[in-house]
Amino acid sequence: MGVGIWSMHFIGMLAFISPIPLGYDLATTLLSLLIAIIASSFALYVASRPSLTWFRLCAAGVIMGLAIVSMHYVGMAAVVLDPPLTHAPPLVLASIGIAIAASLGALSLAFKLRRSRWRSGLMKAVSAIIMGLAIAGMHYTAMAAVHIPANAVCLSGSITDKFWLSGAITVSTLMILAVTLVLSLMDAHMRARTERVTASLAHAQESNKAKDEFLAMLGHELRNPLAAISNAVTLLDTSEPRSSAWQFARDVIDRQSKHLRRMVDDLLDVGRATTGKIAIEVHKLDVNECVENAIASLSASGRLAKHNVTRSGSSVWVNGDPTRIEQIVTNLVTNSLTYSAAGSSIALNVQRHGNEAVLTVTDSGIGLRPEELSRVFDLFYQGNQDGLHRTTRGLGIGLTVVRRLVELHGGTITAWSEGAGRGTTVTVRFPAAEAPRHDAAAPERAKHGRPRKIVVVEDDRDALESLRLILARKGHTVITAEDGASGLERIRKERPDVGVVDIAMPRMDGYEIAQQVRAQQLPVFLIALTGYGQTEDRRRAHAAGFNAHLTKPAALEQLDELIAAAP
């Protein structure tokens, strides 16, 4: 900046046409350049301050204006004449005024535009033109004040070639400005890169912290139900069958087993969500009906007993997976239950707005602070918990799964809250579909059919015996096998109606059993009951010859329906 202002001044002096040849004292000329650099440094220092009061602006403008004027008149002093140059006082005062006004304008604009984004490029270009003209105006006003005596003789230095000198100064100045521009761009690029790296490191540290907190919470959440189940088993051992203590212990085991199952399902779903392995089976469905089913399931489990849950709206049809839509509703309502006090209200509404099916879940719970709204769907995020005194249960992954499921349906999800203690509203939007012209739903399958002969193949003895007892109490004839080879032999010998087969077993896995059964054309309805529940596992099971696939722990209602539907 200093070199640019000084170059304008010196080239303007070279353009001065005088009646005698002029020369320039080198030391004095360099002194004028130094003054320009000092003035520019001062200007940039002032413009970079966090704040700029009017008093500081005026003081800085006066100081900078006087410095620029000093540069000019020191530069003029490099021309030593005998008799000396004279100046017209009014024009000198005018040049000083112009320099101060230009400095005030430059500092004010530089300070205001340094963080400007709206049309900042155009504004800065206009400001640069105005300042350039103002400084040049100061120079030529000062030059107009000069009077050279007719008989004067130049005593400073040798006579110089004006064209060569002006060209050299112009080229040198442009090179300096170009280098400065390149260095500024490099500096901006490196600063932006540093900021990105810093932000990335901060995000990584935050993610690691969240994972550590998640592992601690996971241990806490797993140990609690396991401790309850262990205590319940002890209580069962020391209680009379069907007594109140025995029934209480049985209910504890049932509740805690369901809680563990939900955690395992969430963990598996979030793993599939983060790796893009969640698959949906799309059908035309009524979102309002899915909401009704989800609320009915939650109500049957007793989880809504302490809250006032209401539902409103109308039928809105979408193309989606009914199981996943119900999972979305269940997770959102469960989240509201978790963060709402007993007796509070939770409202669900389904409406069609234009081409969208809109589901809202509104609670009167603890709400969200503004900084939490953008993070509420992040993995492992649970909002602020007061140290070890956790008032909520969960792993901070349910809403992440919900967001991914919504996105797989082509929808969006947002959360809104007026602040802490003001409740939260979660809004889900799906692309709407046209309602079917007639009821295309298949007739409901009977949940309980005639007694069947069933072979159960399972290498876990507890799982095998418990399932045998359950099916036998429903009137079925149940044959069991504890490994794949003996399971295949039982199927060959007994010729059952249904085979319920685990996949991972010693001696022969479930896939090989299904392939052998189909190769021998045995008329058995095969159900894979396994812990492998990903899309690829389902595809592989059907390819091997299974008629149906259930993931452990399977709902017994589903198993009953499949057994009843078997030919």
Q: Are residues 362 and 471 in the same domain?
A: no
Asked whether residue 222 is domain-assigned, the answer is no
Residue 51 has pLDDT above 60, yes or no: yes
Q: What integer is the mean pLDDT of 172-176? A: 81
3-state secondary structure of 391: coil
Confidence of residue 278 (pLDDT cuts 50, 70, 90): low
Q: Is 352 found in the same domain as 460?
A: no
Q: Do 530 and 386 belong together in one domain?
A: no
Same domain? For 336 and 384 the reply is yes
d(CA 540, CA 500): 16
If asked whether residues 33 and 135 sit together in one domain, one would say yes
Q: From 379, 397, 431, give the residue that closes a domain.
A: 431
Residue 119 lies in a domain: yes
DSSP secondary structure letter of residue 551 = E
Does 44 lie in the same domain as 156?
A: yes
Domain range enclosing 134: 2-160
Q: For 46, phi and psi rounded to 5 degrees? A: -65, -45
Tell me which of 68-77, 372-381, 415-424, 497-506 is least confident. 372-381
Does some domain include residue 185? no
Is residue 225, in this structure, part of any structural domain at all?
Answer: no
Residue 224 domain-assigned (yes or no): no
Q: Is residue 212 part of a domain?
A: no
Pairing of the two strands 153-154 and 283-286? unpaired
Tell me what percent of the chain is helix, strand and coil, each rounded to the nearest 5.
55, 15, 30
Number of domains the chain is built from = 3
pLDDT above 60 for 227: yes
Whether the per-residue pLDDT at 112 is higher than 60: the answer is: yes
Task: Identify whether residues 476 and 417 lie together within a single domain.
Answer: no
Q: Do 490 and 367 fall within a single domain?
A: no
What is the pLDDT confidence band of residue 383, given thresholds at 50, 70 and 90?
low
The yes-or-no verdict on residue 497 having pLDDT over 90 is yes
CB 76 within 8 A of CB 146: yes
Tens digit of each residue's pLDDT (9 = 90 or more) over 328-371: 998 899 888 888 888 899 999 999 999 999 999 999 888 888 87
pLDDT digits (tens, 9 = 90+) for 291-304: 998 898 788 777 88
Residue 356 within a domain = yes
Domain boundary among 398, 431, 464: 431
Neighbours of 218 (CB within 10 A): 16
Same domain, 511 and 553: yes
User: What length does the chain have?
Assistant: 567
Query: What three-state secondary structure class fits 425?
Result: strand
Q: Among the ranges 8-17, 403-412, 526-535, which has the highest mean pLDDT value?
A: 403-412
Query: What are 437's two structure tokens?
Result: 């012209």
CATH number, domain at 356?
Answer: 3.30.565.10
Looking at the structure, tell me whether residues 120 and 88 fall in a common domain.
yes
Domain boundary among 400, 431, 462: 431
Q: Is 331 exposed, middle or buried (0-12, 13-18, 19+ CB in 10 A)?
A: buried
Q: Are residues 72 and 41 in the same domain?
A: yes
Same-domain status, 340 and 392: yes
CATH code, domain with 472 = 3.40.50.2300
Q: Quick check: is 167 in a domain?
A: no
